[in-house]
Amino acid sequence: MTRNKWLIIVLVCLTLVMITTIFRPRFMNGNRVTPEDAGKRDVVRLAVAKALITTPVLLALRLNYFAAEGLDVVVTGEFSSSKDSIESMLAGEADISMPATTPFVFNSFTRQDYSIFCTYTTTYEAVKIIARADRGINSASGLKHKKIGVVPGTISQILLDTFLAYNKIMLNEVETVGLMSHELLEAIKSGRVDAISIWEPFANNALNQLADNGIQIPSSQVYRTAVNMAVMNDFAQKHPQVLQKVVRALIKANDFIKNNNEEARVLMAEIFKLDKNLISKIWENLTFTVSLDQLLLVTMESEAKWAIEHKYPGTDHIPNYLNYVNYKALEIVDPDSVTIIREEK
């Protein structure tokens, strides 16, 4: 074969490779994207709170819904509480966090540079009171003069105080012991405390560890927990499209739970190493809906009042929580989900 023919063959091969590269769809994070889209992807740092009440976010990550929206999520850390998640964001380690209202409120007395842009899970059973039966506890009244473990500055503490007030038990009639969330299980198992106020899956783990000696005290739906997406305001102003992408991904995740419940339970069972039937039981008390509703503000104002009454450090007045909500992303994606009453301008 002559040299010219070899050159022609080589050129033809190179041309085919170039054509294939240019027109071939590419995959990023498991999602099919075009070459044009690949250069337009946004990057966001997320501080993950890993709990069953944060299921929609965990599923959105697992199923690549964020990537499908053109968003590359960098998980800066996985935390066992929403308090740690938001504190990581406020420390500059993340752009978005996943707090319940309590740690969000406690930081609002000293900072105004962050906001909630959607709620994605609500429940009246997020936190449970688990007690030792051998300490004579079989109802709320049995908690009097007992040691109760809580995670200070979280919904664990708020729920306990609200629960005690609802059952006409004074705070000075119990002894609270402040611990980290992962420490509560060992504390009640060893008998260091008589009861704990904790969220899932820690609550179920405690019941399993205590076996016949464990009891759950009914909470009477005295407190609604709202789990939210919070963002630093500076990041939100510079990247409003990122918040919209996050909202759309969470809506997809919630729809997946509704329409593919069996598969969703299997995925969460793998993540938490729990029985899928247990997950289904816990999910019965959870509402997975993306929203911004009036009860969110009411809850935050009530928690702020609680903090002031209990002389929480740095508290002196109730902030205007209308200024701590970023409505724009959800109003663009699903305006009917925004039902907060706002002042007329």
Q: Are residues 117 and 153 in the same domain?
A: no
Does 100 fall in a domain?
yes
What is the mean pLDDT of the segment spanning 86-109? 96
Give me the pLDDT at residue 162, please: 87
Residue 16: predicted pLDDT = 46
pLDDT at residue 22 in the model: 39
Q: What is the pTM of this model?
A: 0.77
CB neighbours of residue 29 within 10 Å: 14
- Beta bridge partners of residue 33, listed in sequence order: 26
pLDDT band at 80 (very low <50, low <70, confident <90, very high): confident
277 lies in the same domain as 321 = yes
Same domain, 136 and 188: yes
201 preceded by cis ω (within 30°)?
yes
Strand (E) or helix (H) holding 131: strand 127-132
Instruction: Tell me which of 23-27, 49-53, 312-316, 334-338 is least confident.
Output: 23-27
Averaged pLDDT for residues 317-323 = 94
Range of the domain at 80: 41-123+225-337
193 Cβ partners below 8 Å, 6+ apart? 147, 148, 149, 177, 184, 187
CATH of the domain at 197: 3.40.190.10
User: What pLDDT sits at residue 21?
Assistant: 41
Q: Please indicate, yes or no, whether residues 114 and 149 belong to a single structural domain of this protein.
A: no
Number of domains in the chain: 3
Q: How far is 13 from 24, CA to CA, in rounded Å?
A: 16
User: Is 60 within the bounds of a domain?
Assistant: yes
Q: Which two tokens stand for residue 299?
A: 């809850």
Q: Which positions ≥6 away from 64 have C-beta within 8 Å?
A: 29, 30, 31
- The predicted pLDDT at position 24 comes to 36
Q: Of 217, 240, 274, which residue is a domain's last? A: 217
pLDDT of 220 reads: 64
At 250-263, the pLDDT tens digits run 999 999 999 999 99
Domain boundary among 217, 252, 280: 217
Beta bridge partners of 149: 177, 196
Q: Are 47 and 10 in contact (CB under 8 A)?
A: no
Q: Is the dihedral of CA 248, 323, 58, 273 positive or negative?
A: negative
**Mean pLDDT across 8-20:** 48
* Average pLDDT of the segment spanning 169-177: 94
Please indicate whether residue 44 or residue 312 has the higher confidence score (pLDDT): 44
Same domain, 23 and 48: no
pLDDT over 60 at 26, yes or no: no
For residues 58 and 225, give the distance between their C-alpha atoms in angstroms, rounded to a whole number.
18
For residues 136 and 213, give the distance between their C-alpha atoms in angstroms, rounded to a whole number: 10
- Same domain assignment for residues 108 and 233: yes
| Confidence label for 109 from pLDDT (cuts 50, 70 and 90) | very high
Q: Are residues 182 and 313 in the same domain?
A: no
Positive/negative CA dihedral, 59, 63, 66, 69: negative
Closest CA to 27 of 68, 75, 59, 66: 68
